[in-house]
Amino acid sequence: MKKIKTFDTFFWWSAAAFILVVALISFFPAWFTASFSKYNFTTTGQIGDTIGGIMGPFIAIAAAALTFLAFWVQYKANEQQKQDIKDLKERGEIEKLEAKFFELVKLHRDNVSELTYSPFKRVHIEASDEDIIKEEKFEGRKVFRAIDKEFKSLFAELKHFFQNTNEINIYEEYYLNQLKKNNEINLRNIDFVTFAQIDILYSIIYFGLSFEGQKTLGDFFKGRYKQSFFESIIQFASLKPKEDSGFWNKWHSMNSKTTTRIKHFNRLIQDWNKNVQKIEELRDEWQVDEELEYKYKYYKKGNYTKYYGGHQFRLGHYFRNLYQTITLINDDKRIDFVQKYSNIKILRGQLSTFEQTIIFLNSLSSLGRVWEFESRNNPEKAIEKDNQLITKYNFIKNILNDEIIEGVYVSHFYPLVEFESGINEEKKKQRELLEKQYS
């Protein structure tokens, strides 16, 4: 609670001025009688009467000063009372803020605990040389482990699309130029190929590759990436069926080929859309059974469950609530950075390592760059330092390995996050200077 001083600096300056005036008036009689000695005060009246006449106003001034002092003390008491009421009101509002924050933290825990994911896994039995289908069950935080595993699988399967290429072959020119105008992306020297790779792959994991998912992805990538590039990726990734599908063995056989043959297979699939006679090329190339045409049509149309079914209904609400919780604290002007950091630290304590990994991937995708890199719907406008939520609150500091996937280092994208593994002295000094700017 803010305490108002009764005798503040203004009062003492006023008191000093008053004393100076009193001193001048006190010396005035002596100065007056000495300076005008040619006058005979016996004829004009007693000296005492003269001094008394002069000092009369001073006594009145002193009385006025004492009255002012009494009023001043009362004024300050009233000011203190108003400040106390204001502080109580503000404290009540902050308590409401914190109550809402902890309510959102509880909602976050509830959201995580209610997550479930039950994919099917094919297990080979050596004794009978047969595959059996086993349902895996993931609940709560373990769901993020499963999503992380899917992302890494997709990364391995599609990495050949991003090898030996450059940003010109991936991005639409206008969108690439927008990103290059973004000061924060330039400052962190982010590799645009890796940036696109994580964006595209995470979006596939998020939306999935069902018929609706593929359409959503097409609309989502349009204007950002070259259509021929992202359509090839979507088409190739959508070939992978769930492990309990009858098409699994054919996909697995195809996917085990070398990168060159995978590329060739992908090209033939694209040609199939243009010329049905390419089915003969496929038959010769892969030496498949005579029913390929029927099976391929069935397979190509997507009349089976895709391996990458999507997690939008799991992650959508999760990220909306998480972002709302952090911005609730970050946007409040009544509490300082130290208190804000303390509150967000409580939230961060609820996150598993795999959750923080998925948050990292989300923040690099177009779905979540508002966390750190891009203003909403404006890729060329960087997020202000005070609103770069992941760096500001060290929100992914518990990620253990810097290289979370082959060639992808967390510290390249978040150089000033103080990870548990530590940062070098130069980065530490930069971090300290940055924290002084936070509100």
Going through 233-370 in order, the beta strands assigned E by DSSP cover: none
User: Is residue 253 assigned to a domain?
Assistant: yes
pLDDT of residue 83: 66
Q: Per-residue pLDDT for 338 more than 60?
A: yes
In this prediction, what percent of the chain has a pLDDT beyond 90?
49
Burial class of residue 339 (count of CB atoms within 10 Å of its CB; 0-12, 13-18, 19+)? middle
Same domain, 283 and 370: no
pLDDT of residue 291: 47
pLDDT in tens, 100-145: 999 999 999 999 999 999 998 888 787 777 778 888 999 999 999 9
Residues in CB range of 124: below 8 A, 6 or more apart:
130, 131
pLDDT in tens, 41-76: 555 555 556 556 666 666 777 777 777 777 777 777
Confidence of residue 286 (pLDDT cuts 50, 70, 90): very low
d(C-alpha 8, C-alpha 311), whole Å: 62
Interval 349-378 mean pLDDT: 95
Three-state SS at 134: strand
Confidence of residue 296 (pLDDT cuts 50, 70, 90): very low
User: Is residue 208 assigned to a domain?
Assistant: yes
Confidence of residue 294 (pLDDT cuts 50, 70, 90): very low
pLDDT in tens, 380-423: 999 999 999 999 999 999 998 999 999 999 999 999 999 988 88
Q: Per-residue pLDDT for 4 more than 70?
A: no
Same domain, 295 and 363: no
pLDDT of residue 44: 52
Same domain, 249 and 194: yes
Q: Per-residue pLDDT for 325 more than 90?
A: yes
pLDDT of residue 279: 45
CA distances (Å), origin 96, targets 86, 105, 108, 148: 15, 14, 18, 36
Assigned token pair, 148: 């992380």
| Locus of tokens 């503000």 | 90
Same domain, 69 and 147: no
Same domain, 282 and 324: no
Same domain, 30 and 171: no
CB distance 139 to 116 below 8 Å: yes
Report how many domains make up the chain. 3
Assigned token pair, 363: 């923040």
User: Is residue 165 assigned to a domain?
Assistant: yes
pLDDT of residue 53: 64
Rounded to two decimals, the pTM is 0.75
Q: How far is CA 137 from the centre of its chain?
A: 30
Same domain, 262 and 340: no
Same domain, 423 and 366: yes
d(C-alpha 166, C-alpha 253), whole Å: 30
pLDDT of residue 122: 82
CB distance 311 to 259 below 8 Å: no
Q: Per-residue pLDDT for 287 more than 60?
A: no
Angle of helix 292-300 relative to helix 259-274, nearest 10 degrees, comes to 90
What is the domain extent for residue 385?
310-437
Q: Which helix (H) or strand (E) holds 4?
A: none
Confidence of residue 187 (pLDDT cuts 50, 70, 90): very high
276, 300, 324 — which closes off a domain?
Answer: 300
Interval 80-84 mean pLDDT: 67
Same domain, 159 and 294: yes
pLDDT of residue 106: 94
Dihedral of CA 293/294/295/298: which sign? positive
pLDDT of residue 283: 45
User: Is residue 135 assigned to a domain?
Assistant: no
274, 300, 326 — which closes off a domain?
Answer: 300
User: Is residue 132 assigned to a domain?
Assistant: no
User: Is residue 150 assigned to a domain?
Assistant: yes
User: Is residue 111 assigned to a domain?
Assistant: no
Using alpha carbons, select from 22, 319, 364, 376 the residue that is nearest to residue 144. Answer: 319
pLDDT of residue 109: 94
pLDDT of residue 421: 81
300, 318, 337 — which closes off a domain?
Answer: 300
